[in-house]
Structure 1
Amino acid sequence: MFPVLDLVGTASERGRMHGALAKRRVERSIANYRSLFESCGIGWSDAQRLGHGYRDVIGDFAPALLAEIEGIAAGAGRAADEILALNARTEILPPTFPDKPSAEWLASRLGRTADFGECTAIAVSPARSASGETLLAQNWDWFGAQRDALVLLRLRGEDGSACLTLTEAGMLAKIGCNDRGFGVCLNILRSADDGAAPGGPVHVLLRALLDCGSVREAVQRVRGLRLGASSNVLCADRGGDSAALELSPVGAHVVRGTDGTLCHTNHFLAPEAQRAAVALPASLSSTPRLACALRHAKGAQTLDVGSLQRLLRDETDGLLSVCRHPDPSLPEEARLETVASVIMELARGVMHVAPDMPTRVAYELVALSPEAVTV
């Protein structure tokens, strides 16, 4: 299992604890993203400069989260711009990734010439859940090397609020839930407007959304928010509401599910958002993965943790499956695989985490409150 870090205190104190306790994993994140950015023609010094460009945006949006980022840097003994680059990695990467960026894109971002996809996610309402409680689940597809940089953060704020998130060391959040019964998953999207100007980084937004108590509150939070790149936040709450928040630098579109489930992969579903979408390489399998998730969702009268595990372990489409294996025919920097898998029971405040491809390992229970874990 990934390390579970219990972080308490002020934002700065939580950040320092994160950086110090996960120092080696933060260093692994930095090494992996240095290599990844360089494969796109972005040197690490340029990545840090670009990361620094998000500092004021983050500070204006959530000053406490900027303090936490700076605390991570101090605790890990790294430059603040390195941690900013990690938290803005989605916004820094070119829209065409993993294909090489165009000379025009590099010129526009860096002042010189020179199968991005993450995840299958599903929300299940109480009406379709065998337990009568909301479920939220996701496979996170990325580069296998980053598996060794993952951590689980169990955070408690000064006001006593708590959240649990699976994330990359040095980054504020990714997949998570809180003590108010609200949870988030992430699907990266791509549009032609991504990265044109600094806007709120999605991994910072995910952490901010973990302060919400409902989908309605999350929808209100993203209205009018300026983002630096496109993403979908699939969110749900213990009251049974769910929504896909398709976000881009030009606005937010809310997609709702049918029949008590809502599935999402890595392409825009809202028709009005599709106009600026970047065409995805077939290797990213976004469309077949969505079709597979929909088949699973419609194939049973009710869904439970076990049936969601079967979906997230599905390998029926080979290298294009929901449970992804790296394609050896692709360049190394384009070989995506399922790095981890998570199923959340929002009312209970627990995660079932598979710390590898879920076909290779068992799911293990991690809770917001350790004493709350019961099988």
Structure 2
Amino acid sequence: MKGIGHYKDQLHSSGLKDSDLATMIDRFAGAIDEYGSQYIEEMRGIASAVNTDLAAILLLNARTEILKLARRREKGQEDFIQSDGCTGVFVMPGATRDDVFIHAQNWDWKAECAETAVVLKIKRDDGPDIITFTEAGGLARTGFNSAGISISGNYLETERDYRELGVPLAIIRRKVLEQDQLALSMQAVYATRKSASNNMMIGHAHGIAIDFECAPDETFLVHPQDGVLVHANHFQSPIALSKLLDKGVANMPDSLYRDLRVRQLLQPHIGAVTIDTVKTALSDTFETPYSVCRPPRRSPLSNNQSATVAMIVMVPGTGEMEVALLPALGAHFWKYSLDMQISPIERPPQVQTNAA
């Protein structure tokens, strides 16, 4: 698989020995197996299907953690690594023209990953079906399930990262999408110990959406304002900022205005926002190439081309997902759908008052 080779080459170029990589993978395999052995079995099946070994698929599903740990082993290089810089959006039903919940994201990463990205549909007998945009071989990234629960993620970085072993982010996201109850999806994010910080945006088709700013051992909540929430790659929670050192901004200073730009572009349309409104906002080119929608550019931290690899726009209530690869080069959207089984909102029984 091309994606596996790409990450192995990057790890070798950082000076990581094969024996050290194998040790890292084994440690994460243990954490995943303890969290849910079914994930190991699924990865084993993927490995068999593409004629590779389990370790390669484990690498894909823990690549954020392993790439960062490998770079931290290089003396003086701990804080310098290209990261998944993403911009995520919630638009609540009351802020949209059609009274629907919209959940969208720009995924900024290595441009070559556009060649290995897939939209994966998972038909399940023991829970809701899933549709997720991810890298080939990955169990989940950005997506929603047939119960109307959606998730996207953004890179964050703090001084607490990688002090202890935790569950890889891709596995947590998959756990979120396997739930038929929103509370259980939120529990998977809130209660699962992680190796590193991350921002996870969880929503529901009926109009509940919460942003979880996660440190490895603590989680902070951010809520939509005026029907909109936009999150890039820096902490927004005042409580989080009072307790943590936000280290990600040094590598991604454009994060400080990406969320502001998208919010500014959506604000005039509150009450009439559509999918096209969100696409336009996420296509913003202010300060390009350090923009919301990033054309391929050479990363100052590596020899890789960094870009907005994909724009993903989801309407869980109607089972719609649209994806454009490398949208800064001309956005062509592919449309996908999932058969939905969303429970209706239960109305409280009317209280009857008897006249005296």
Question: Could you say which residue in structure 2 is the equivalent of 1:197?
Answer: 164
Question: Could you say which residue in structure 2 is the equivalent of 1:103?
Answer: 75
Question: Could you say which residue in structure 1 is the equivalent of 2:269?
Answer: 300
- Alpha-carbon offset, residue 226 of structure 1: 0.9
Secondary structure at the counterpart of residue 347 of structure 1? helix
Moved more, 73-82 or 354-363: 354-363
Instruction: Label 1:77 to 1:197 Cα distance change in 2 as closer, same or farther (>3 A).
Output: farther
- Alpha-carbon offset, residue 283 of structure 1: 4.8
Gaps of 5+ in 1: 1-26, 107-114, 371-375
Secondary structure at the counterpart of residue 212 of structure 2? strand
Question: Could you say which residue in structure 2 is the equivalent of 1:324?
Answer: 294
Tell me, yes or no, if the aligned pair for 1:174 and 1:185 is still in contact at 8 Å.
yes
- Which protein has the larger Cα radius of gyration, Structure 1 or Structure 2? 2
Q: Give yes or no for the alignment of 1:257 onto 2:220.
A: no
Question: Could you say which residue in structure 2 is the equivalent of 1:47?
Answer: 21
Amino acid in structure 2 at the alignment position of 1:78: T
**TM-score, length basis structure 1:** 0.82
Moved more, 177-186 or 273-282: 273-282
1:61-100 matches, within 5 Å, as 61-94=35-68
Instruction: Label 1:337 to 1:43 Cα distance change in 2 as closer, same or farther (>3 A).
Output: farther
Amino acid in structure 1 at the alignment position of 2:246: A
Amino acid in structure 1 at the alignment position of 2:325: P
- RMSD over equivalenced CA pairs, Å: 2.3
Secondary structure at the counterpart of residue 164 of structure 1? strand
How far apart, in 2, do the equivalents of 1:366 and 1:229 lie? 32
- Alpha-carbon offset, residue 308 of structure 1: 0.7
How far apart, in 1, do the equivalents of 2:328 and 2:77 lie? 36
Moved more, 170-179 or 80-89: 80-89
- Alpha-carbon offset, residue 284 of structure 1: 5.0
- Alpha-carbon offset, residue 291 of structure 1: 1.2
**TM-score, length basis structure 2:** 0.87
| Seq. identity, % | 27
Instruction: Label 1:227 to 1:331 Cα distance change in 2 as closer, same or farther (>3 A).
Output: closer
Instruction: Label 1:282 to 1:220 Cα distance change in 2 as closer, same or farther (>3 A).
Output: closer
How far apart, in 2, do the equivalents of 1:335 and 1:128 lie? 36
Deviations 1:56-88 (A, max 9, x none): 211121221121112212222222122112111
Amino acid in structure 1 at the alignment position of 2:258: R
Correspondence for 1:338 among 303, 308, 316: 308
Instruction: Label 1:64 to 1:282 Cα distance change in 2 as closer, same or farther (>3 A).
Output: closer
Amino acid in structure 1 at the alignment position of 2:9: S
Question: Could you say which residue in structure 1 is the equivalent of 2:138?
Answer: 171
Moved more, 175-184 or 222-231: 222-231
- Alpha-carbon offset, residue 357 of structure 1: 1.9
Q: Give yes or no for the alignment of 1:271 onto 2:238.
A: yes
- Equivalenced residues, count: 334
Deviations 1:176-230 (A, max 9, x none): 1110111111101112222232201001111110023454432223333211111
Instruction: Label 1:363 to 1:70 Cα distance change in 2 as closer, same or farther (>3 A).
Output: same
Instruction: Label 1:299 to 1:117 Cα distance change in 2 as closer, same or farther (>3 A).
Output: farther
Tell me, yes or no, if the aligned pair for 1:49 and 1:81 is still in contact at 8 Å.
no
Instruction: Label 1:232 to 1:44 Cα distance change in 2 as closer, same or farther (>3 A).
Output: farther
Q: Give yes or no for the alignment of 1:33 onto 2:7.
A: yes
Deviations 1:128-185 (A, max 9, x none): 0111010000011110111111111100112362110010011111011110111111
Question: Could you say which residue in structure 1 is the equivalent of 2:116?
Answer: 149
Amino acid in structure 2 at the alignment position of 1:79: D
Amino acid in structure 2 at the alignment position of 1:362: H
